[in-house]
Amino acid sequence: METISVRLKSFLRVLSNTTRKLKCIMFSIVITVTVLIWFYGSTTSEISLDHVRLHPSTGYVKYFSTSYSYRNNTPKILFWTPFFGSMVWYRESMDCIRLCPWKCELTDNKDEVATSDALLFHLTDITWVGFVNNPGQYLQFKFPGYRRPDQIWIAYNLEPLSMLWGNFHAFDGIFNWTWSYRHDADIYNPYGYFRSTTENEKQEMAKHLKSSNYFREKNKTGLIINSNCNDDARRYKLVHELSKYVDIDWYGGCGFKCPDDYRSCDVLNTKYKLYFAFENAHCRDYISEKFWRRHTYHQIPVVAWKIDYKGMVPPNSYINVFDFSDLNSAGKYIAHVANNETLFNSYFDWMKDYTADGGYCGMCRVCRALHTKNRSAQVYEDFNGWLTDDSCKPASITRFAQRSIDRLVFDGKTGIFNTKFLETS
């Protein structure tokens, strides 16, 4: 009887765990189907285009023989759309433009459209954010009904192509300039940049590094913070493999909850030696703040770049898992760095020769472009062609479904969803 009782308890325990896994999988499927239906509705939204487009021709941009001119020496810039549903970008731009050597007037008053020299449109808010902010309604985005012939319309985007939904052909023949992290944008606005240090800066940093030991400041190994759990790059697979060699704590919507809100997880950075700065997609020139903020916390960024970014980031300041023959080799090396004081600290020697900055006034670059003399007038007659000329693909229902299925299969094989995610969310 005792043997039967033990076996029965064991069977019930297995049955309970199996039932829990099935419930989790069914819950995931329901959520996935719901989101797919929601996105399907948002991608059928109407966009009003009330002006004449150009006839197609070769190339993305059509140039004209005329150049831009403004009514006075202080061009006026109108923020036509919000930024992810908020006018925070207008308020922040008002603060930073004061220190800009080029002078521009900023406004968010749409009644001033006739007197504005340039209009700003946040691409994501045009395509799908409007639907999110107005549940149950189709996005009815309307461009201004009035447009001066010499007015410059600027498309602003800092999101990777894989996060953008919509029919981008709808914008052919509309925008004059692009403002983006991509090198080929009219206004190049990366998330961060670096420059060579002056001789005085080099000497000061050499003294600082000599008296510092960043290795001993940390008591934990690896950290990743993100909430996009079904990302295009499948970051969860990399983390799962590398965690066989390195302790990695996952925070955000895909792991342990942050103490308060998402930004409250920033306090964790001071404790960890390594930050796994994996981007959500392998898009051209896309290096976000995940990388650029690491040196302020004295962390080594571990990246997953399939693109050569030499010249765009400080040399010898990171570990790229795709620089190794396989993840097994990468994991062993990362573990070696995390446990070797001299090797770990050597990853900050670059700060003697370079300095990096993760934030500056992008609006100042827009203002500088508006002050550029004899700049030829232009328009993106093939905006879709320019935007999708990338190493990644735009968002779609098919790709979203595939990512969701991949994640479900992965969770089912590894049990990560059932053990870590449910216990911490």
pLDDT in tens, 304-363: 999 989 899 999 999 999 999 999 999 999 999 999 999 999 999 999 999 998 667 889
Quickly state the pLDDT bin for 414 (edges 50, 70, 90): confident
Q: In terms of domains, do 183 and 197 share one?
A: no
- What's the pLDDT at 141? 73
Output 410 or 27, whichever has higher pLDDT. 410
Q: In terms of domains, do 175 and 245 share one?
A: no
Q: How far is CA 19 from CA 13, 117, 411, in A?
A: 10, 62, 15
Q: E strands of 138-235, at which residues?
A: 140-142, 152-157, 177-180, 187-188, 193-196, 220-225
Pairing of β 272-276 and β 248-251: unpaired
Quickly state the pLDDT bin for 189 (edges 50, 70, 90): very high
Q: In terms of domains, do 58 and 176 share one?
A: yes
pLDDT mean over 237-263 = 87
Chain-wide mean pLDDT for the chain?
82
Output 263 or 203, whichever has higher pLDDT. 203
Domain span holding position 181: 49-189+361-394
What CATH number corresponds to the domain at position 221?
3.40.50.11660
- What's the pLDDT at 163? 92
- What's the pLDDT at 357? 81
Q: In terms of domains, do 285 and 332 share one?
A: yes
Q: How far is CA 257 from CA 317, 360, 422, in A?
A: 29, 30, 11
Number of separate domains in the chain: 2
Residue 70, domain member (yes or no) = yes
C-alpha span between 411 and 418 (Å, rounded): 8
Listed residue (193, 209, 182) closest to 390, CA to CA: 182
Residue 61, domain member (yes or no) = yes
Q: In terms of domains, do 316 and 367 share one?
A: no
Q: In terms of domains, do 201 and 87 share one?
A: no
pLDDT at 47 over 60: no
C-alpha span between 308 and 330 (Å, rounded): 17
Note whether 412 and 29 are within 8 A (CB). no
Could you tell me which residues come within 8 angstroms of residue 194 by beta carbon, excluding any fewer than 6 positions away?
313, 314, 354, 355, 356, 357
Give the burial string for 234-248 (b: 16+ CB within 10 Å, else e).
Answer: bbbebbbebbebbeb
C-alpha span between 410 and 237 (Å, rounded): 8
Residue 367, domain member (yes or no) = yes
Q: In terms of domains, do 348 and 372 share one?
A: no
Could you tell me which residues come within 8 angstroms of residue 140 by beta carbon, excluding any fewer than 6 positions away?
45, 46, 48, 130
Note whether 84 and 128 are within 8 A (CB). no
> Cβ atoms within 10 A of the Cβ of 150, count?
13
Residue 3, domain member (yes or no) = no
Residue 405, domain member (yes or no) = no
Task: List the single range of 24-38, 182-196, 301-315 with lowest mean pLDDT.
Answer: 24-38
Listed residue (279, 314, 300) closest to 391, CA to CA: 279
Task: List the single range of 65-69, 171-175, 368-372, 381-385 with lowest mean pLDDT.
Answer: 65-69
- What's the pLDDT at 279? 96
Two structure tokens written together for 184: 């080929």
Quickly state the pLDDT bin for 29 (edges 50, 70, 90): low
pLDDT at 12 over 50: no
Task: List the single range of 13-27, 77-91, 174-188 with lowest mean pLDDT.
Answer: 13-27
The helix/strand/coil state of 384 is helix
Pairing of β 61-67 and β 376-380: antiparallel
- What's the pLDDT at 142? 79
- What's the pLDDT at 254? 84
Q: E strands of 28-127, at which residues?
A: 46-48, 61-67, 76-79, 105-107, 118-122
- What's the pLDDT at 267? 84
pLDDT at 366 over 80: yes
- Residue type present at position 360: Y
Q: How far is CA 424 from CA 23, 122, 168, 276, 401, in A?
A: 17, 34, 39, 20, 25
Could you tell me which residues come within 8 angstroms of residue 232 by beta carbon, excluding any fewer than 6 positions away?
160, 162, 280, 281, 282, 392, 393, 399, 403
- Bridge partner residues of 273 (DSSP): none
Q: In terms of domains, do 200 and 328 share one?
A: yes
- What's the pLDDT at 28? 52
Q: Which helix (DSSP H) or strand (DSSP E) does residue 378 occupy?
A: strand 376-380
Residue 76, domain member (yes or no) = yes
Q: In terms of domains, do 209 and 162 share one?
A: no
Q: In terms of domains, do 206 and 307 share one?
A: yes
pLDDT at 59 over 60: yes
Residue 88, domain member (yes or no) = yes
- What's the pLDDT at 128? 63
- What's the pLDDT at 23? 45
Task: List the single range of 11-25, 132-146, 353-367, 379-393 with lowest mean pLDDT.
Answer: 11-25
Listed residue (242, 299, 240) closest to 268, CA to CA: 299
pLDDT at 87 over 70: yes
pLDDT at 34 over 50: no
DSSP string, 315-366: TTS-EEGGGSSSHHHHHHHHHHHHH-HHHHHHTTGGGGTEEEES---HHHHH
Q: In terms of domains, do 230 and 274 share one?
A: yes
pLDDT at 40 over 50: no
- What's the pLDDT at 43? 34
Q: What is the per-residue pLDDT across 128-181, written as a single tens digit (0 to 9) for each?
A: 644 444 444 445 577 898 898 889 999 999 999 999 988 888 899 999 999 999
Distance between first and last Cα of the chain: 41
Q: In terms of domains, do 212 and 353 share one?
A: yes
Residue 399, domain member (yes or no) = no
